[in-house]
Structure 1
């Protein structure tokens, strides 16, 4: 009988860590992470984020349709202009067809030799900015490594070696197995050991119709206060 792998924990047991299930190709997750980091910067405090993979293209058995991301980017970018987002500036053939390599890179960056959790979070933020604000094709490993080269906490050579060997590829699929369970409701979903359990916090929106058939996201309001409430309950990390 083949031994069964231990189930992945839903969130980090460290009370100072925020576990975020998301896809880099999800604008709502990128908004939530921006809000959380902005709230931490405003307080002048450190925060540790453990990124877990909610791979939309594995759930849907297709790449996330560009028209859906475009519609969400416009709705969110108009409501929260400080994000600095723009519609894809290049030709359609240069658009990222997959986010799995980028998601794998963020997982690989958790390894101590690459930089650990702080490096992983820095790389995640940089890849999201590269996609939504700069129009860079984060499907391509060379572009991922170019983004990593501008991340002070990331050891680019160690990351390149990890991607070449595929050391974090299995982690993506282990997370996918957990994400298919009932507890993770979508991208983003945030958990803490202290009891935070919230899906897509602060966003009040609905679709005017089927997004695959021309519907639009009606983004009614956004409340960033949730991030301050979370930080109120989150102890500062003792070491970063």
Structure 2
């Protein structure tokens, strides 16, 4: 399987829904594309950190990354998890499976669901490990047929796609979450970030470059 969608104008994004860096990049891309009236088409591919690392992402580590990012990007509307610890998502595989299953309805449906699930996790602090939560998010998501989505999930469509992506994610071509690709090849990994460990500034100029390449 190729690491990128070769359809002209489609941006391939490798990421994990739980990844704050990926979610920041996607939120920035969506916002600026909307401001420009750009027809943004994203093919979401899975970089499942818990499978690649062999363990769930620790909540203290995730909270620390969210704090580091929101100190620079307060406009994102996130906060660290304040819900009960027993409700914290131990896995985001079901959410990633749902996004892949939504591709049966097209890339736009999958992208809408991906954005809604990230909002549910990072802003609304909902447990996106749970299928009832995923279904509820889908039913509130314009452009997604929730009944069709759940049928695809019950048939295992999303899980097969996640594991197909896992085989590519682990072969060295994809450099982490997020990694953006154009139809021609790699674009940038974690664009706009000056330093992950000591994050102090964010340069959103990469969006202009990407939109100029893909959506002009």
- TM-score category, normalised to shorter length: over 0.9
TM-score of the superposed pair, with normalisation by structure 2: 0.97
1:88 pairs, out of 56, 81, 86, with 81
Matches within 5 A, 1:5-154: 8-111=1-104, 115-154=105-144
Cα distance, 1:46 vs structure 2: 1.3
1:78, distance to aligned residue in structure 2 (A)? 1.9
Which digits, 9 at most, give the CA deviation of each residue in 1:193-240, with x for residues without a partner? 134421000001243xxxxxxxxxx2121100101111011136xxxx
The answer to whether the aligner puts 1:223 opposite 2:213 as a matched pair is: no
Corresponding residue SS for 1:193: coil
Aligned residue in 2 for 1:3: none
- TM-score, structure 1 normalization: 0.87
Deviation at 1:75, TM superposition (A): 1.1
Preserved CA contact (<8 Å) 1:196 1:230: no
Larger-gyration structure (1/2): 1
Residue 235 in 1 paired to residue 215 in 2? yes
Structure 1, unaligned runs of 5 or more? 1-7, 208-217
Per-residue deviation, 1:38? 1.2
Aligned to 2:177: 187
Greater helix share, 1 or 2? 2
What is the aligned residue count?
216
* Gapped regions of structure 2 (runs ≥ 5): none
Structure 2 SS opposite 1:168: helix
In structure 2, how many angstroms separate the alpha carbons of the residues matched to 1:186 and 1:43?
28
Query: Could you say what the CA RMSD is over the residues aligned between the two structures, in angstroms?
Result: 1.1
1:38-91 deviation per Cα after TM superposition (whole angstroms, max 9, x unaligned) = 110110121000000000000111111111110111111121111100111211
Q: CA deviation at 1:167?
A: 1.5
